[in-house]
Structure 1
Amino acid sequence: MDFTDPALALPPVSLVDVASYLPGEPVGTEYFTRYSRSDRMAKNVMFRSPTTRHHRQRDETAVDMVERAVQPLIERHGSDVLSGIDVLLTHTQLPDNPVLGAGPEVARRLGMKPAHVIDVHNGGCAAFVHMMALARTILRGTAARTALIAVTQNCAGPVFTQSEIRGLAQAPVPGDGCGVGLLVKNNSAPILDIECRTYPEFAGDMDFSTGSERKYWEPGAGQGCVSFTESKVTKVFARGNRLVPEVAMAVCDRIGVRSGEIDTFVTNQPNRLFLRNWRDALELPAQRHPDTFDRCGNLFGAAIPVTLDAEQRAGRLTPGSVVLMAAFAHAGDFAGAAAVRWGAV
């Protein structure tokens, strides 16, 4: 298979390594069942819960989680790997400070002085692919040579265990975790292609509300939570079934690989039915589509790097194999896919 970059004037960029962090001990579903109440939404396949998930502690910040996630990178690449980072991109599901992004504090905590620090708030469950695209663009267009991308999902513990929220059908589904990726301007584990698509017509179909007239920043009754109406859940399910295979197939077509020839297919992990439908669409067996949902729940944007890291640690990624990542965000307002010729340590 020919993986030559068609944009010959542009230098190759590699995803050379990934690492991850899951906070605390696994939380069993029994935590939620004692609070559950009759709810038609609980019967929807979108909200059938995993066996366990992880919850970050109240005072554990997004920066704490990134700091813990990068430790394996330091162990594998040496203590100087972070001090030489030129580009830092962070995505935090629930910002600890709604005014400030996490990027500068991550850089300070890790002893970094990157030339480019960007807090990316869009991209949702496809944020890792989105950030790979952004990092590759910056590395190709500047003198920068290295980038760290960090995706933190940290809203399961603080949001979905609230007294008014923990009894809802969707409460047991999310889990917390953080995944990071190290990108270098070289050809050691090249990014073969990336596809990013925005669908603004779907941007209003997911809501964050307090269940009342109160805005989330105002005092008063009502607890903030992500919500869908039942009719919108049905539409989101149909979109997700379509969008992820579409962007994945677009990448396969451009790199000249049939979908069934992909060695490892890593997606976001929203629920079991999505995972089954996506691998069926790409004609892949289950063993080539790793599944962390039952152990970690829906990790949103952190799912791809956490799952990829789990495969790497298990020794199931072969150097030279083709790894395809794909995901869709929110109610379908964004989808992305990226292929890498694996070569990480």
Structure 2
Amino acid sequence: MSTSTLRNVRFAGMATCVPKQVVHSIHDVSPHLRAERERLVRNIGIETRRVCPDWQCFSDLAYDAAEKLLDDLQWAREDVGALIVVTQSPDYLVPATAIILQDRLGLPHSTIAFDVNLGCSAYPFALQILGSMIASGVIRKGLILLGDRSSYKHKDPLKDPLFSDAGTATALEYSEDAAPMYFDLNSDGSGYKAIIVPVGGHRSPFQLEHAIARKGEDGFWRSDLDLILDGPAIISFSTQRVPPMVENLLGYAGVTKGEIDHFVFHQANRMINETIRKKLGLPEDKVPSTLREFGNTSGASLPVTVTVRLRDALAQGRTRLLLCGFGVGLSWGGAIVDVEGAVFPELIVS
């Protein structure tokens, strides 16, 4: 069954870190491409993106977010029972990035640390994984470090007007007074080719010829190491699967749309997100967006949007959020979370 409930798990805090470099979708490309980019920006709604320099990894951003969050929460490092890293941009194929970050953060050897390979849908899944560990009594406090260096999938960040980089940290803890969290999580591997980097794994190991770039119809050069997106398939999947899931989650939780303060969706692109919003009949002021300034930050787009758009609102008192991620896998999921008294540092730029 895709729906589930977690009890005794409190949302304690969230921090988001983005790189300093800002790339403009129109102004930073060659003059002969600007008219085409202007049309594209109108459709996808992304004007600027945050891009890591060559030396900076997702884990560096996640480390800065975690350090700030732990300091603001005043959590003792020895009390962190689990560290879950959710990314498709690991430092290495082996070992797991979580093990490296456990050491960098000064967490004890008793901290359970492991990686999860999920992208755009990741945030609700991550909450369920760590929340289940806390609810079962395995641990009492834990961290989720989630995000991607998505821009690496195109070596030239100017050729991709969509993806942006970010690292986030989320803290959960045991509390008998916590409101229930509700989930609806789904997967459909038959659509795995819709969003894929086809070369580099064991199914298709890297060969030198895979690195040879070929010029596409859009004028950009791409190799077999670049990300492949099946646009029509992604649009169809997102707009057909997400709205029914949201309705099902609301029904399962016994919550009406009016009782949700904010619906936070994965920031895919403006066309997809607006179609989902309209299908669900949601007012614009209940559906915050960070697409224009931060682009598509993969699984981190939910924490980015919460941090940038809802930080002040969350400081006012108890707030009910519906968090929805969808994409690569294919996978999609949602979570209804009540937030009260949580710590939200200002956006970190590193």
Please indicate, yes or no, whether the TM-score normalized by the shorter chain is above 0.5. Answer: yes
Decide which moves more: 65-74 or 104-113: 65-74
Distance across 2 between alignment mates of 1:38 and 1:54 = 19
| Secondary structure, aligned partner of 1:125 | coil
For residues 19-168 of structure 1, the aligned pairs below 5 Å read 19-30=15-26, 33-34=29-30, 48=44, 50-78=46-74, 80-113=75-108, 114-122=110-118, 124-156=119-151, 158-162=152-156, 166-167=158-159
> Identity percentage over the alignment?
21
Distance 1:153 1:188, change over 3 A: farther
Matching residue within 234, 239, 242 for 1:241: 239
| Secondary structure, aligned partner of 2:335 | strand
For residues 1-345 of structure 1, the aligned pairs below 5 Å read 11-30=7-26, 33-34=29-30, 48=44, 50-78=46-74, 80-113=75-108, 114-122=110-118, 124-156=119-151, 158-162=152-156, 166-167=158-159, 171-187=160-176, 189-209=178-198, 217-220=206-209, 221-222=212-213, 223=223, 224-228=225-229, 232-315=230-313, 318-330=316-328, 333-343=330-340, 344-345=342-343
Distance across 1 between alignment mates of 2:315 and 2:323 = 13
| Secondary structure, aligned partner of 1:254 | helix
Deviation of 1:185 (Å) = 1.3
Long gaps (5+) in structure 2: 214-222, 344-350
Deviation of 1:26 (Å) = 2.1
Give the conservation status (yes or no) of the 8 Å contact 1:41–1:47. Answer: no
Distance across 2 between alignment mates of 1:47 and 1:34 = 20
Give the conservation status (yes or no) of the 8 Å contact 2:261–2:320. Answer: yes
For 2:61, the aligned partner's letter is M
Distance across 2 between alignment mates of 1:46 and 1:71 = 37
Distance 1:283 1:276, change over 3 A: same
Deviation of 1:201 (Å) = 1.8
Distance across 2 between alignment mates of 1:19 and 1:111 = 18
Distance 1:26 1:38, change over 3 A: closer
Distance across 1 between alignment mates of 2:299 and 2:67 = 20
Distance 1:68 1:191, change over 3 A: farther
Deviation of 1:83 (Å) = 3.4
| Secondary structure, aligned partner of 1:319 | coil
For 2:148, the aligned partner's letter is Q
Distance 1:225 1:263, change over 3 A: same
Distance 1:244 1:310, change over 3 A: same
Deviation of 1:184 (Å) = 0.7
Distance across 1 between alignment mates of 2:34 and 2:198 = 21
For 2:206, the aligned partner's letter is W
Long gaps (5+) in structure 1: 1-5
Give the conservation status (yes or no) of the 8 Å contact 1:160–1:172. Answer: no
Over aligned residue pairs, what C-alpha RMSD do you find? Answer: 3.0
| Secondary structure, aligned partner of 1:112 | coil
For 1:87, the aligned partner's letter is A
Distance across 2 between alignment mates of 1:81 and 1:34 = 50
Deviation of 1:215 (Å) = 5.4
| Secondary structure, aligned partner of 2:194 | coil
**CA shift digits 1:264-322 (9 cap, x unpaired):** 11111010112212222332211111100110000011101111122343335642221
Distance across 2 between alignment mates of 1:203 and 1:233 = 13
Report what 2:217 is aligned to: none
Decide which moves more: 269-278 or 31-40: 31-40
Higher percent of residues as strand: 2
For 2:270, the aligned partner's letter is R
Alignment length (residue pairs): 324
Distance across 2 between alignment mates of 1:216 and 1:22 = 31
For 1:30, the aligned partner's letter is I
Distance across 1 between alignment mates of 2:199 and 2:83 = 33
Normalising by structure 2, we get a TM-score of 0.83
Normalising by structure 1, we get a TM-score of 0.84
